[in-house]
Amino acid sequence: MKNPVIVDAIRSPLGRSKPGSLFTEMHPTELLAQVLKALVERNGIDPGSVDDVITGCVSQVGEQSGSPGRIAWLAAGFPEHVPSTTVERKCGSSQQAVHFAHQGIAAGAYDIVIACGVESMSRVPWAFPASTRIRMAPRSSSAMPPA
């Protein structure tokens, strides 16, 4: 069995999630693309040698839906043949991405995996009017469509 190791960790700068703040106009996948580029450049990785990109994202709605890790990977200008998946685990999506990457390497399915996450709270519809807001079921954490 292989012994997986974390080689590097990079994160984006923090910003406030209110109108006019630093990141409110930046698309979430562009934010993640910048992090992916920095990680690949800083470590001298051939992006074509990456076996998978596993992305954690809790609020997969609006601009953060549609496999944000895959879109960010392509927005960074990296090869199309590298697959990506997005996972959602409340308050632990990026950590779950790390666990899946570890498991894949330990099992011998991967050599190089990028585990990452994206969450742009200024793009999550909590601030929209009640008629369009994501509502939560009374005794469940699952999202319910607007009534």
Q: Which two tokens mark 31? A: 């934010």
**Quick check: 118 and 28 in contact, CB under 8 A?**
yes
Backbone angles phi, psi at 132, to 5 degrees: -120, 0
Residue 54: its H or E element: strand 52-56
The SS3 assignment for 86 reads strand
Query: Looking at this protein, which amino acid is placed at residue 137?
Result: A
112 versus 21: which is more confidently predicted?
Answer: 112
Could you tell me the pTM of the whole model?
A: 0.78
Per-residue pLDDT at 142: 45
Q: Write the single-letter amino acid at 6.
A: I
In the chain the domains, ranked by start, together with CATH numbers, are 1-125 (3.40.47.10)
Strand 135-136 with 143-144, pairing = antiparallel
Q: How far apart are CA 41 and CA 112, in angstroms?
A: 15
Give pLDDT, residue 61: 66
The size of the chain, in residues, is 147
pLDDT of residue 28: 83
Q: Tell me the pLDDT band of 136, cut-offs 50, 70 and 90.
A: very low
Who contacts 20 (Cβ-Cβ below 8 Å, separation ≥6)?
none
Q: For 73-118, what is each residue's pLDDT tens digit? A: 999 999 999 999 999 888 899 999 999 999 999 999 999 999 998 8
The structure tokens listed for 95 are 């950590």
